[in-house]
Amino acid sequence: MKNWFRKDTSAALMFLAPSGVGFALFYLIPFAMGVFYSFMDSTVDSQFVGLDNYRELLASNSFRQAASNTFYFSAVSVPLMLVLSLGLAMLLNKNIYFRKWLRTAFVLPLVVPVASIILIWQMLFDWNGSLNAWLSYFGSERVDWMKTDAARNVVIVVYLWKNIGYNVILFLAGLQQIPKDYYETAQIEGAGRLRQFRSITLVYLTSTMFFVVIMSIINSFKVFRETYLIAGDYPHDSIYMMQHYMNNMFMSLDIQKLTAAATLMFGCIFLIVMGLFAIERWHRQFME
């Protein structure tokens, strides 16, 4: 058994080695170098300056604006994503008309290239776009969606549209694992739909829900691609995100602020994810 285990382990390590080398070469080592440079005054003939780069970063108005916008976007879009995706998954889990077509429709945003779809969103929210044309038709004033605070709502809608299908698939998989006998027994004992949802559905979807929350938070920090394609390098102040700030620091070759901002962003995401895992462990122990 020991010889077999050793052979199996060596084979597994051999197959995992290329992936591990690629991960270290393109992700782990560059990240470690970025953290190192965030404590230096330059990338050439650098000297250790401690937390000076972080102090300068936190004193920057543009960084604070980007951080607050990113936090607001995640705080609003993630709960919306959770509620909408769970509601749609419960709807699609029932025998409704056009269920297969609806499932396909929610999956399509995952496979369609973002760059081509953004053109449709631009045509929809442009000053002379379709949405303003409908508003004018019904007697309402036109809205310059991408140059007012309404731009934040546009980005939230795009984020929900792009990522909701993935979460619906995850919730559908979790719902289909719940035995229907539990719901039948609950109905016999007089439990209403709300009680069934709270005591059965939410309990058995706990692990899936935590995973969906983590993925939604991570995806909310990756919304820069859609925002950049819609509004460009310097969008309206309400949608100026952390990725915009880091991209602009890269264009100006301000590596110290770039690496410091990236390190802080990683630290925030890491703390949030670790906190969610701690809550999940506590909830699992509480249920047991």
Q: What is the CATH number of the domain that holds 96?
A: 1.10.3720.10
Question: Quick one: average pLDDT of 106-117?
Answer: 72
Residue 287 has a pLDDT of 64
**pLDDT confidence of residue 97:** 67
Q: Tell me, yes or no, whether 10 lies in a domain.
A: no
Q: b vs e for 139-174, b when ≥16 Cβ sit within 10 Å of the residue's Cβ? A: eeeeeebbeeeebbebbbebbbebbbbbbbbbbbeb
Indicate whether 188 belongs to any domain: yes
pLDDT confidence of 80, banded at 50, 70, 90? Answer: very high
Q: What's the rounded mean pLDDT across residues 230-256?
A: 82
109 class by beta-carbon count within 10 Å (0-12 exposed, 13-18 middle, 19+ buried)? middle
Domain residues for 256? 62-287
What pTM value is reported for the model? 0.79
> Does any domain span residue 143?
yes
Residue 274 has pLDDT above 80, yes or no: yes
Q: Is residue 249 part of a domain?
A: yes
Q: Is the pLDDT of residue 5 over 60?
A: no
Q: Which of 28-32, 180-184, 208-212, 259-263 has the lowest mean pLDDT?
A: 180-184
**Residue at 90 is within a domain:** yes
**How many folded domains does the chain comprise?**
1
**Residue 177: is its pLDDT beyond 60?**
yes
Report yes or no on 141 lying in a domain: yes
User: In whole angstroms, how far apart are CA 246 and each of 51, 108, 140?
Assistant: 18, 30, 38
Q: Check pLDDT > 60 for residue 234.
A: yes
145 inside domain: yes
pLDDT confidence band for 282 (50 / 70 / 90): confident
Answer yes or no: is 93 within a domain: yes
25-34: pLDDT as tens digits: 888 888 888 8
Looking up tokens 């059965």 gives 200
